[in-house]
Structure 1
Amino acid sequence: LLSVSFVEASADDGPGKSVSNYYYEALKYPCPPNLSVWWNMGSMLFLILGAQILTGVMLTMNYTADEQLAVVSVDYIMRDANYGWIIRSLHMGGASMFFALIYMHIARGVYFGAYLKNTHVWYSGLTLYLLSMGVGFLGYVLPWGVMSYWGLTVITNMMTVIPGGARALDWFQGGFVISTVTLKRVFVLHFLLPFVILGLSLAHVLLLHVNGSSNPLGLDETNFSVPFHPYYSIKDLAGFALLLAGLVGMTFTFASLTADPLQWQPINKMKTPAVIKPEWYFLYAYAILRSIPHKAGGVFTMFAAIAGIAVFPMISSNENFQSMKACPPARLMFVIWVANFMFLTVIGAQEPTGGWVLAGQFGTILHLSALVMIPMIKADWEFYLFMTAQLDEEESVVNDVKRFLGPRLLSN
């Protein structure tokens, strides 16, 4: 919340600057004066990340990474450990809120052209998103229910589409099949990677503070700015209160809202479930994966759909028109993209038969097309506005010349 650019600070005041000076500069950090609630998502993600790390560390004290004992340890946490069900429910609900905030954070960046302001921040954010997806999937595996086992089987088999992937798969599994060794490695990665995400998140904020935040109108905050405190610190605190209220309310009212009943069934390695599906925040990617009948094609298409936002700064690069508010065609395409994301999420939860497969293929084409068309439409619209302004300026100059020379020509 109170991070500050140590790059700028060290350049201005040298290495001997005290912590209190950094704290003071953080409070007085210049921010654009017109930031809306959509700029609260970043600080709220920090809060949820901290809560996830805290509750995760507490859960590790009673979890056992073993094929036979994993489900038993989860059952012990939920039934016998003091407040264990609350901690696990907070952890599960926090994961859903974390990804919901990530998707809103990305959507805000796309709509208001954050990728134009600072490409380093955009790409570091994309890296954080990919790591978060990995951590989220690893956490889904740990309860070791039916969906955990078969979900891990599906995802790990994707490694075989790359050269040397079969050898890497055997190394990751610790053998030729998924076993307790695999579960232990999943557990270790799930424990360590959130701390990597925390460190990269701090770097993400420092990169943001080097060039400043984007804003709805694309103003230069060096000329129009307000201090972070009290204008935005109060907004962040209000967002924290609402977020915690929602998380606690979800924990005590809908504790099993995102849980899959199949996770409590014993694993049968000889029988594949009729429908294998991940958590809701991965359903859109899973729908894309299933829509392509070719294994390698499906894997590469899914990764292209996930990381496709990386092309945005390459296609549209004019910082004078950051927001889509000045571009109605791109705004319409953005709405279609978001609606299609929800459409793919619904498709990913269905059994892959008949019309659902065709619907998934249509949604996949639309999703990939939107990733290219949004920045292209925005760039073309920017060029149109620029040329219109140039023509209007030239016409204005001609009219001024006529008004100035007209009387003289008539008198002569």
Structure 2
Amino acid sequence: MKYPCPSNLNIWWNMGSMLFVTLAIQILSGIMLSMNYTADGNLATESMSYILRDANYGWALRSTHMAGASLFFALIYIHVGRGVYYGSYMKLPHVWYSGVTLYLLSMGVGFLGYVLPWGVMSYWGLTVITNMMTVFPGGARALEWFQGGFTISTFTLKRVFVLHFLLPFVILGMSLIHVVLLHNDGSSNPLGLDTTELVVPFHPYYTSKDLVGFVFMLAALSALAFTFPKITADPLQWQTINKMKTPAVIKPEWYFLYAYAILRSVPHKAGGLALMFAAILGIALLPTLGKYAKAQSMVISPLGEALFFIWVANFMFLGIIGSQEPAGAWILAGQVGTFVHLFCMLSIPAANAKWEKMLFNGYGKWIQI
């Protein structure tokens, strides 16, 4: 409660506490859903139907859990965007690396949860992603072990369920490490300046601020769960699996669409996989690329700001591309979007450093005059 914080933190610093609350909601609702779920290829769909129709408040738990996943990733992307814009990766590299690890774990848990309804999109989505393992040496043997045989079956579903149940607790532990690292190094701030002499205690200043954020977060969660539950739901998730017929368009949840668009942008399997991992893990390079800049925040760098907003707009554009059938102009659009995503992400630190050099050199000449 007495943790010293910079006095100028704005609303974008609320995302971390909101993520903690959302994670708690996901773990609790997931535990209760698991009591009625059956990880069996022949019974999974029936158990989901039982949860929605017969289990006490099962429909509410299912809607909350599904909406919570979307809200969790929305908060993650805002949290990452804030870190990039305000240069948090420069002051807190260890915190940044732990955050990237949390993002990767969250992606894994999110994908595994997408598989559990065991509908058409679940089955074929799992087929597409797991087949990517064959790109790596020994991947075919690893795929066979994960599937529990030569094809996807009940044994695969059981493995998916166990991993989806256990990994959130790993995320919870890693989140605590994330917070400990943050408290050891101290929070960054919107101006990116040393505010050691201008700090305030966490309580009551930021506890009250976080409580206001929780109200808006819970309102958004309630709206997604109970008013607009079909926004992120795919009707194909409730169709019986037909292993002999591939859907015309296979797509993941919205929060993975940008990565899926990049994966499909290259016809070669290994090339698409390499670009996708480069797009996801590229943010881990920012502390190294940003070591040449002095100021953390983009407030003084219009060039960096322009690249950042192009990067954000292109991220949304990739999401649209990932939801379309990979044909015609959409393939070219995906390739252009992939290039823009990687270019902007890796150029932001260099643009900030270049602008600082121009700014401070010009200021020095003005002082001499």
- Whether the aligned pair in 1 keeps the contact of 2:88 and 2:188 (CA below 8 Å) is yes
- Return the offset for 1:218: 1.4
2:296 is matched with 322
The C-alpha deviation readout for 1:271-327, integer Å capped at 9, x for no partner, is 100000000000000000011110000001001001111111111115631110100
Name whichever of 236-245 and 246-255 sits farther off: 246-255
What residue is the counterpart of 2:220 in the other structure? Answer: 246
TM-score normalised by the chain length of structure 1: 0.88
Question: Partner of 1:145 in structure 2?
Answer: 119
C-alpha contact 1:44 1:243 (8 A) present in aligned 2: yes
- Identify the residue that residue 45 of structure 1 maps to in structure 2: 19
Q: Which moved more, 1:156-165 or 1:242-251?
A: 242-251
| Aligned mates of 2:357, 2:170 — CA distance in 1 | 41
How is 1:56-67 mapped onto 2 (pairs within 5 angstroms)?
A: 56-67=30-41
Contact 2:293 2:353 in 1 (8 A): no
Contact 1:117 1:319 in 2 (8 A): no
Partner of 2:154: 180
Separation in structure 1 between the aligned mates of residue 123 and residue 68 of structure 2, nearest angstrom: 22
SS of the aligned residue for 1:372 comes to helix
What is the Cα-based RMSD across aligned positions, in Å?
1.0
Question: In the aligned structure 1, how far is the partner of 2:229 from the partner of 2:254?
Answer: 15
Is contact 1:45–1:101 with CA below 8 Å preserved after alignment? yes
Report which of the two structures shows the higher radius of gyration computed on alpha carbons. Answer: 1
* Equivalent position SS for 1:226: strand
Q: Mapping of 1:269-308 within 5 angstroms?
A: 269-308=243-282
Residue-by-residue CA offset, 1:163-191 (whole Å, 9 max, x unaligned): 11111111111111111111000000000
Partner of 1:255: 229
Determine whether 1:158 maps to 2:132. Answer: yes
How do 1:310-349 and structure 2 match up within 5 A? 310-318=284-292, 320-349=294-323
Q: Which runs of 4+ in 1 moved over 6 A?
A: none
Within a 5 Å distance, the mapping from 1:353-392 to structure 2 comes to: 353-392=327-366
**Unpaired segments ≥5 residues, structure 2:** none
Aligned match of 2:167:
193
Structure 1, unpaired ranges of 5+: 1-26, 397-412
Shift of 1:353: 1.1
1:218–1:320 contact (8 Å) kept in structure 2: no
Of 223, 242, 245, the match for 2:197:
223
Counterpart AA for 2:20: F
Instruction: Give distance in 1, aligned partners of 2:283 and 2:356.
Output: 19
Aligned counterpart for 1:232 among listed residues 184, 203, 206: 206
Contact 2:130 / 2:143 at 8 angstroms: preserved in 1? Answer: yes
Kindly provide the amino acid, as one letter, of the partner of residue 378 in structure 1: N
Distance 1:287 1:318 in 2: 32
2:29: which partner in 1? 55
Any idea what SS the aligned residue of 2:130 has? helix
CA distance in 2, matches of 1:161, 1:192: 27
Which letter does structure 1 place at the counterpart of 2:204?
P
Inter-partner Cα distance in structure 1 for 2:80 and 2:121: 28
Take 1:382 and 1:187, find their aligned partners in 2: how far apart are those partners?
A: 50
Alignment-derived partner of residue 268 in structure 1: 242
Match of 1:6 in 2: none
> Are residue 36 (structure 1) and residue 10 (structure 2) matched?
yes
1:65-104, aligned counterparts within 5 Å? 65-104=39-78
Q: Could you state the TM-score of these two structures normalised by the residue count of structure 2?
A: 0.98
Q: 1:238, CA displacement in angstroms? A: 0.5
The SS at the match of 2:198 is coil
SS at match of 1:31: strand
360-369 vs 318-327, which moves further: 318-327
Partner of 2:291, secondary structure, is coil
SS across alignment from 1:316: helix
Q: Percent identity?
A: 69
Pairwise CA distance, 1:248 = 1.4
Distance 2:285 2:161 in 1: 33
**Alpha-carbon distance between aligned partners in 1 of 2:209 and 2:293, rounded to the nearest angstrom:** 27
Residue in 2 aligned with 1:106? 80
Which of 118, 131, 141 aligns to 1:167? It is: 141
Any conservation in 1 of the 2:3–2:201 contact (CA below 8 Å)?
yes
CA contact (8 A) 1:29 1:227 kept: yes
